[in-house]
Structure 1
Amino acid sequence: MRQTSLPTRAPGRRRVLGGMAALAALAATGTGAAGCAAPAAVGAGRTRVRFWHLFGGGDGVNMRTMLEAYRAAHPEIALEASTLQWGAPYYTKLGMAGVGGRAPEVAALHLARLPGFGPGTLLDPFDLDLLAQHGVTEEDFPADLWRRGRIDGAQYAVPLDTHPMVLYYNTDICEKAGLLAPNGRLAPIRGTEAFAAALRAAGKVTGGPGLVVETLGADTIGPWRLFSTFYSQAGGTLLDENATRVTIDDAKAMKVLRFMRRLTEEGLAHHRVDYNGTVGVFGGGETAFLLNGEWEVSTFANLELPFSMARVPNLFGRPTAQADSHCFVLPHQRDRGGETNEAAHAFVAWMLRHTVEWAKGGHVPAYLPVLEEPAYLDLHPQSEYRSVIDDVALDPPAWFAGSASTMWIELGAVLSGVLTGSRTPRGALEEMRDRLQALLDTPDPLGGDA
């Protein structure tokens, strides 16, 4: 089943746009979520810090463990953590709270959704001096992830992790297919022909396709994540750096689209399978490889499946992989400041420094010192693909991009057809271009510049 990075059913375009339009209306009237205010301190001098997040499943378990550890270490803080419904409902409620200036002290957000979330209106910037007092500075993060949290010279998001597409592999099948190196890990694969050869070799062992990847389903987004990974490896872009113009490179896109079609057309990958089906096929030992987000690591570990994980092979020239990042943000409060605000910054810093527990769910910690801790390096297979932190391919900074966004859903539907055979690569390319242009022509419901 899907973990927190991707929901079982992503919201449709009308639902996303409608929710964001509602926020815009709230912003115009100055109204917001009522009853959300909190005093700076509660009970016996304890400072109150509220944290809203959207982590369920295995991520929810890991987050609760971290929060309990924080409470035990900080008895002077009254931490109130709320888990809200994933996706559009979460962002709508968080935005409403920010519009009213009566939001929680800290919240989780997907980094790629930051440009469409009203920095300066719905979010307050971090005080970097306060973070530094608690041992967290810009130098502790990958440069690109940190930069994406900065808008108009202010830092509105501090990255918690990155959750990239990775390659799961069944070690028993790969061993029989001669695909493992002497150290027991997957031997290096580079280029489309080498990958196709590996899939054929694995298929001879199982008697079926060597790879499974999501190809269809209601509001499917797996095909988009696959295309984004390969297209970024080819060096292609969707939009310019200001997200104002479509910049698709036809030659690079067609090379990727034809390869995607080849995967299913030649029987190298399963032809028609939804998200849950991919988990069942790989978890049942029916195929050697799965391309998916890293958050299913707990699922397969609980099945006692003989598997490991690796970075997506470099097939098109660059070792990148599609990814998003969970981050911490400060929802807008009319009177942010004082002890509560300082406690919020201290909470974020503490959570970042203690992300080994978070990494158990597969996510790669964004706080770089954790990547060198023995406790993290002892996590297998979670630490096997940690170097991808420097090669993540984030969405363009557009209001309609980011995890489970309108762009993912619309392009996922188009790219699904390439994998199932209902669209030609050329037809899909033209439809992708048209849909991106339509999104660009749609005003940002929150009135932002992105």
Structure 2
Amino acid sequence: MTNSIDVPVPAPRLSRRRLLGASAVAGAGLLGLSGCSSGGTKPRLDYWHLMSGGDGILMGDMVAAVNERSEFDAQQTVLAWGAPYYTKLAMASVGGRAPELAIMHHTRVAGYAPGGLLEPWDTTELERLGIGPSTQPERIWEKGTYEGEVYSVAIDAHPFIMMVNTDIADQAGVATPDGLVEFSSPEEMLEVGRRLAEVTGRTGLSYGFLADGAQMWRFFYTLYRQQGAEMTLNSGEPMQYEMDAAVVALDTLKSMLDGTVTSANASIDSAIAEFASGTSGVLFTGVWKTPTMLDAGIPLAATTIPTMFTEPAAYADSHAFVLPRQSVVDPERRAAAYEFVASMLKDSATWAQAGHIPAYLPVVESEEYQSLPQSSYADATEIINYDPPAYFTGSGSDFQTYFAENVQNALLGRIPAEQGMLGFAERIDALLAAPNPVA
């Protein structure tokens, strides 16, 4: 295989502090080792990811399709989602025995790149293969950069969205011509919810949040950013945020939970069950639930959450390809990693079937993708907002858990919203005051 990539000098050994820091970032877990030779004639490419269920099936299909036409053999290792995965990836990178390629959420790069756990992508080689800033939405491409270098190349964006049962919306008299519902303020949202509830006889809007920091944070951050509010996490400084906007966002969520507009104590599973059974007309959830609802036969329309304040905004994350740190880079395998990523992005219409928005613009613009129901929210890439960067934020981290620990009681009406937010800020300030364990 032709290789146009320079082989880096073996990376220096990480310090004891960085070794301990990698464990601190990822949490508890065991070291996962990538395999050696596949025993075949093709060079082996070890590839780790955390996709399971329907996502995992589609990922496996895509890997198999790439292998059929490639001069390498990509071998996928599927690990448990969340802290176990990120632990194993970090420790494998520290030990110099990481896979040649891995999936990481865009939001986790800030915790891994500073400590040398990832290697930057050669943008010249990516461009040669047709991948670059002109082929991805600006917000997605920029999120993969750290200190001027590209560390993660996204295959998708998966925002928090609104799903609508078009039949129920039509019966309630709140449907737009394309079957959606519209509202431009919290008050209008509540009114739409009440009218939908009159049709279902149960609730109008489904939103699961109990004991689920991710669900709480996704909707909160959407409403917080819709107010134009910023949140900045700088090491050694208190969390910078806008209390007034935070209180408005939390009070808006609390106002829904009256038992009619929205169930007062729903989990994500019960909220999904409500919507799938037709006992609510709207579901607030991630795009990955789109196939579930289509398979259930729900007459479905989906879009970003309507702008209720001054600016359109949607919380999102992205699955992205990263190069874990290698003690010695095998040039043949490194070249295979680039070829593999380019092929996966160009084939991501398959990945879109899982509900995710492809990050590769030629796929988004293709007839194949535009014919999918999932394409109705593709414009979310223009308004997505990722977690504020810090070594402890991102999908699968404890950041959203800390949020839940402090604001759930505010949503349940047990404490004022301001008190919940102050508790969250105090917890984050403690992390910011401590040395970054991977710096």
Is contact 1:42-1:78 (8 Å) kept? Answer: no
Counterpart of 2:15? none
Letter in structure 1 aligned against 2:226: Q
- 1:385 maps to 2:368: no
1:163 matched to 2:155? The reply is no
Conserved in 2, the CA contact under 8 Å of 1:215 and 1:271? no
1:277 is aligned to: 270
Query: Following TM superposition, by how much is the alpha carbon of 1:43 offset from its aligned partner in structure 2, in angstroms?
Result: 3.2
Distance 1:34-1:231 versus aligned 2 partners, 3 A rule: closer
Alpha-carbon deviation of 1:254?
1.7
**CA separation in 2, counterparts of 1:349 and 1:242?**
35
Structure 2 equivalent of residue 237 of structure 1: 230
| Residues 418, 425 of structure 1: 8 Å contact kept | yes
Cα offset for 1:99?
A: 0.8
Task: Please point out which of 129, 135, 139 is paired with 1:134.
Answer: 129
- Counterpart in the other structure of 1:203: 197
Tell me the TM-score normalised to structure 1 length: 0.88
**3-state SS in 2 of match to 1:356:** coil
Correspondent of 1:38 among 36, 39, 49: 36
Question: Letter of the aligned partner of 1:277 in structure 2?
Answer: S
Cα offset, 1:387, TM superposition:
0.1
**Identity level (%):** 34
For 1:23, give the aligned amino acid: A
1:342 maps to what in 2? Answer: 335
Range with bigger deviation, 325-334 or 337-346: 337-346
SS of the residue 2:257 aligns to? helix
Deviations 1:22-75 (A, max 9, x none): 735899xxxx95864636x8533x22111100000111111111111111221x
Question: Which letter does structure 1 place at the counterpart of 2:168?
Answer: I
Query: CA shift at 1:445, angstroms?
Result: 2.8
Q: Residue 105 of structure 1 corresponds to which residue in structure 2?
A: 100
How far is 1:361 from its partner? Answer: 0.7
- Determine if contact 1:296/1:362 at 8 Å carries over to the other structure: yes
Distance 1:35 1:297, change over 3 A: closer
Within the alignment, does 1:23 sit opposite 2:18 as a pair?
no
Once residues 35 and 290 of structure 1 are traced to their aligned partners in structure 2, the CA distance between those partners, rounded to angstroms, is 40
Q: Secondary structure at the match of 1:360?
A: helix
What does residue 239 of structure 2 align with?
246
- TM-aligned CA distance change 1:179 to 1:241, over 3 Å: farther
1:263 deviates by 1.1
Please give the alpha-carbon distance, in whole angstroms, between the structure 2 residues aligned to 1:230 and 1:25: 31
Map of 1:10 onto structure 2 = none
Q: Alpha-carbon deviations, 1:345-385, whole Å to 9, x = none? A: 110011011100101111111111111000000001x1000
* SS of residue in 1 equivalent to 2:320: strand
Offset at 1:337?
A: 4.6
Match of 1:294 in 2: 287
Q: 1:100 to 1:276 in 2, by over 3 A?
A: same
Unaligned residue ranges in structure 2 (runs of 5+): 1-18
- For the Cα contact (< 8 Å) 2:206–2:274, is it kept in 1? yes
Which residue matches 1:368? 361
Within the candidate set 83, 86, 89, 1:91 is matched to 86
User: d(CA) in 2 for partners of 1:395 and 1:134?
Assistant: 30
- Out of 335, 340, 345, the residue aligned to residue 352 of structure 1 is 345
Aligned 8 A contact 2:206 2:283 in 1? yes
Q: 1:213 to 1:26 in 2, by over 3 A?
A: closer
- SS where residue 197 of structure 2 aligns? helix
Equivalent residue, structure 2, for 1:313: 306
Per-residue CA deviations over 1:201-222 (Å, capped at 9, x if unaligned) read 11111123211112312x5431
- Alpha carbons 1:119, 1:156 under 8 Å: kept: no
State the Cα distance separating 1:145 from its structure 2 match: 1.9
* Residues 233 and 389 in structure 2, CA contact (< 8 A), matched pair in contact too: no
3-state DSSP of counterpart to 1:408: helix
Which residue matches 1:81?
76
- Provide the aligned C-alpha RMSD in A: 2.3
Q: Output the amino acid matched with 1:216.
A: L
| CA deviation string 1:260-304 (max 9, x = no partner) | 221114732110011211111111111011111111112112211
How many residues get paired?
419
For 2:208, the equivalent position in structure 1 comes to 214
- 2:333 and 2:322 mapped to 1: Cα distance? 15
Q: Secondary structure at the match of 1:52?
A: strand
What one-letter code is carried by the residue in structure 2 that aligns with 1:411? F
Alpha-carbon offset, residue 187 of structure 1? 4.3
Q: Is the 8 A contact 2:25 2:437 kept in 1?
A: no
Change (3 A) 1:349 1:373: same
Secondary structure, counterpart of 1:397 in structure 2: coil
* Range that drifts further, 399-408 or 419-428: 419-428
Q: Distance in 1 between matches of 2:348 and 2:35?
A: 29
Offset of 1:250 from its aligned partner?
Answer: 1.8
| Partner Cα distance (1:192, 1:26) in 2 | 37
Contact 1:221-1:413 within 8 A present in 2 as well: no
Report the counterpart of residue 296 of structure 2 in structure 1: 303
TM-score (structure 2 length as normaliser): 0.90
- The CA distance in 2 between the partners of 1:141 and 1:440, in whole Å, is 32
Which residue number corresponds to residue 45 of structure 2?
A: 49
| Contact 1:163/1:363 (8 A) holds in 2 | yes
